[in-house]
Amino acid sequence: FFFANATMSGGPRIIVCIRKRPLNRKEAANGDHDTIQPTGSAGGLMVLEPRVKYDLTKYTEKWPFTFDLYMHEQTSNVDVYNKAVYGLLETALAGGNATCFAYGQTGSGKTHTMMGSGSEKGSGIYVMAARDLFDRLDFNQHTVQVSLFEIYAGKLYDLLNKRKKVFAMADEKNNVVINGLSERAVSDVNKLMSLMEKGSAERATGTTAANQDSSRSHGILQITIRSVKNDKQYGKLSFIDLAGSERGADTAHCDRQTRMEGADINKSLLALKECIRALALGSKHIPFRGSKLTSVLKDSFTGKSRAVMIACVSPSSSNCEHTLNTLRYAYRVKELKEPNGVKEVPDAPGPMQKPPERPQNLQDAQQGRPPYPSQPQYPPPCPPQPHPQHDPDQLPQPVPAPVGKKKRARAKPRPQWDDNFTAEPDGPWDGPPPAGAGPE
């Protein structure tokens, strides 16, 4: 839909899509209502947030958003794949790196979009992409290898090898290589689905206030196309099921480990947003070192790469705050995708007036030219006048300092002992002389 007619040298490098899930039975039983409505523009939607004033008066606040594509609750996984993801297959077959992200709060439908469930079990996005890839790929010239791993608490674990810990390192060309990651050769969809079921059972999950079965790690599926001649990578197709975004209040009543997991998830999601924004702007520097997630996905943001971000939202009024956080996150990614990198601010004031010209040099200022043409001319200030009672000529003049070298005063001599001195205040002294007073 978006990438069908785009070549590697032209067309959008990233698109942002919104997928709305329907209300479930629990939300309907609690009396929640739908808060997301489409607008007339393509890709536009509006969130009707229920609010309460200080005087307990209820009102509704409207939040409009516009994205590349908006898919309502009746949209199936097949429609999502045909409209947003199918073009990524063209990028991978052309020798590029294609990446698809699923972002949203816990329970918003990310795993259903990627893997399929319920009536659409087995019809996830990655299954349909693999099926088309196997149909169009010439296995006489290329092979397909699959790897599945997760990023949990800043560490990598191989989900196809009993959750073995692996490490991300850089080779001599500064490319990130996951040391110890197992790759399985596949040639049909059935084998791929069996590998996914095996790896999904090893993925870390937990319980929070927002979801009873919350994904606590980022699951990454990489389908690599390699050349038969030299076994080098030709193209790659990556599908990333991100961990559910959550607030600190969702893990406030959980243990310390759960709170640390939530902090690490939010840190990696923030780093991912910055990388996607840099990709959309065509920046020379992409901050892929912000987290382990972006460091591993470095090749997804450099070179011949394209990406699709699918933000899954819940229409329930009880999850309206989570929905707004997801939409704001996605909009920060999308808002920089203006022509020539120019961002339009909707609430900005009118155009600024050209400031008046200032004097070019000191000579113009001394000639009386005002610094602003529109500034009124005031008379020059009067010089300071002395007070009539204090004539400067009659004021006492300071005493000048003496000229010349000042003589140093001589020290007074100490008194000397007199041997002939006798003290006779009341008569002669009859006692013995004091010690050291003189000869006996």
208 annotated as ligand-binding: no
Dihedral over alpha carbons 20, 24, 30, 36 (to 10 degrees): 10
Integer angstrom CA distances of residue 430 from 165, 418, 422, 434, 436: 109, 19, 12, 12, 17
36 forms bridges with which residues in the sheet?
A: 47
245 annotated as ligand-binding: no
**147: Cβ contacts below 8 Å, ≥ 6 apart:** 158, 160, 178, 181, 182, 183, 184, 221, 222, 224
109 annotated as ligand-binding: yes
293: amino acid identity, one letter = L
117 annotated as ligand-binding: no
275: amino acid identity, one letter = C
Report the relative pairing of strands 218-227 and 233-241 from DSSP bridges: antiparallel
In which residue are the tokens 């929905």 written? 323
State the greatest distance between any 2 C-alpha atoms of the chain, in Å, as a whole number. 142
51: amino acid identity, one letter = R
If we measure between CA atoms, which residue out of 345, 325, 326, 347 comes closest to residue 336? Answer: 345
105 annotated as ligand-binding: yes
CB 163 within 8 A of CB 157: yes
Residue 330 corresponds to which tokens in the numbers above?
A: 């996605």
Residue 422 corresponds to which tokens in the numbers above?
A: 């006798």
CB 108 within 8 A of CB 326: yes
CB 217 within 8 A of CB 152: yes
Q: Exposure of 144 by Cβ count < 10 A (0-12 exposed, 13-18 middle, 19+ buried)?
A: buried
Say how far apart CA 334 and CA 348 lie, in whole Å: 18
244 annotated as ligand-binding: no
111 annotated as ligand-binding: yes
104 annotated as ligand-binding: yes
CB 166 within 8 A of CB 157: yes
Integer angstrom CA distances of residue 151 from 46, 105, 147, 229, 324: 34, 18, 13, 32, 26
Residue 157 corresponds to which tokens in the numbers above?
A: 């674990």
Extract the annotated binding site for ATP: 104-111
Extract the annotated binding site: 104-111
